Amino acid sequence: MKAKDNIRDTILIILGILSAGMGLKGFLLSSHFIDGGVTGISMLLSDVTKLPISILIFVINVPFLWLGYSKLGISFAIKSTLAIAGLSLCLAFIHFPDVTHDKLLTAVFGGFFIGVGIGLAMRGGAVLDGTEIAALLVSKKTQVAKVSDIILILNVVIFSAAGFLLGIESALYSILTYLAASKMIDFILNGIEQYTGVTVVSTKSEEIRMAITENLGRGVTIYEGKSGYGKDGQINDPRDIIFTVATRLEIPSLKNEILRIDPRAFIVQQSIDDTTGGLLKKKRLH
Mean pLDDT, range 14-40, rounded to an integer = 93
CA dist., res. 261 & res. 211, Å (int): 9
pLDDT (tens digit per residue) in 38-47? 899 999 999 8
Mean pLDDT, range 10-14, rounded to an integer = 94
Mean pLDDT, range 98-110, rounded to an integer = 93
* pLDDT value for 286: 43
* pLDDT value for 78: 87
* pLDDT value for 107: 95
Asked if the model's pLDDT at residue 284 lies above 70, the reply is no
Mean pLDDT, range 2-11, rounded to an integer = 86
Return the C-alpha torsion angle 37, 39, 44, 50, nearest 10.
160
Helix (H, G, I), strand (E, B) or coil at 104: helix
Instruction: Determine how many CB atoms are found less than 10 A away from the CB of residue 68.
Output: 20
Q: How far is CA 70 from CA 43, 75, 83, 87, 225, in A?
A: 28, 10, 19, 24, 39
* pLDDT value for 111: 94
pLDDT (tens digit per residue) in 233-283? 556 677 789 999 887 767 888 888 899 999 988 899 887 766 666 555 555
Cα torsion angle, 253, 255, 258, 264, sign: negative
Average pLDDT, rounded, for the chain? 84
* pLDDT value for 273: 63
Mean pLDDT, range 107-113, rounded to an integer = 95
* pLDDT value for 143: 59
Asked if the model's pLDDT at residue 136 lies above 70, the reply is no
* pLDDT value for 91: 94
CA dist., res. 105 & res. 117, Å (int): 18
Instruction: Determine how many CB atoms are found less than 10 A away from the CB of residue 8.
Output: 13
Q: Put the strands of the sheet holding 220-226 in their side by side order.
A: 220-226, 238-247, 195-201, 266-271
Do 36 and 135 form a contact (C-beta atoms < 8 A)?
Answer: no
| Amino acid found at 66 | W
Contact partners, residue 218, CB within 8 Å, separation at least 6: 212, 244, 245, 246, 250, 254, 279, 282, 283
Query: Quick one: DSSP state of residue 206?
Result: H
- Kindly indicate the confidence band of residue 228, based on its pLDDT and cuts at 50, 70 and 90: low
The terminus-to-terminus CA distance of the chain in angstroms comes to 33
| Amino acid found at 164 | F
Residue 237 backbone zone (phi > 0: left; psi -120 to 50: alpha; other: beta): beta
CA dist., res. 16 & res. 184, Å (int): 12
* pLDDT value for 281: 55
Instruction: Determine how many CB atoms are found less than 10 A away from the CB of residue 108.
Output: 17
* pLDDT value for 285: 46
Domains of the chain, each with CATH number or no CATH: 2-190 (no CATH), 195-271 (3.30.70.120)
Asked if the model's pLDDT at residue 133 lies above 80, the reply is no
Asked if the model's pLDDT at residue 137 lies above 80, the reply is no
Asked if the model's pLDDT at residue 17 lies above 90, the reply is yes
Instruction: Determine how many CB atoms are found less than 10 A away from the CB of residue 21.
Output: 26
Asked if the model's pLDDT at residue 73 lies above 80, the reply is no
Asked if the model's pLDDT at residue 165 lies above 60, the reply is yes
